[in-house]
Amino acid sequence: MKVTYPIKGVAEIKVLKEELKPFGGRCAKIVENTLEFQIKEENQPAAYEYLKEKGYIS
C-alpha cells in the first residue's frame, strides 16, 4: 500500500529509508514536503507511530 504523510522540517531521505526498512517500507521519496513510501498494510500503524515519535511527521 502507498502512504503519504506531510513531513515536518528538513529530513535526509537516506536516513528515512534506513529507518523504514525494519517496517518493510520501500521506495521512499520526498515530494513537495510530503513523505511517500510503500509498505505492507499490517506494518503501516507501527511505521506511522515510529515516524511521529521521531518527529518526522505531525
Q: Give the global pTM.
A: 0.87
Query: 26: number of CA atoms within 13 Å, CB side?
Result: 4
Give the residue ranges of DSSP H helices in 3-57. Answer: 13-20, 44-54
Name the residue range of residue 17's domain. 2-54
12: left (phi over 0), alpha (psi -120 to 50) or beta: beta
Number of domains the chain is built from: 1
58 pLDDT tier (thresholds 50, 70, 90)? confident
Region 18-45 average pLDDT: 94
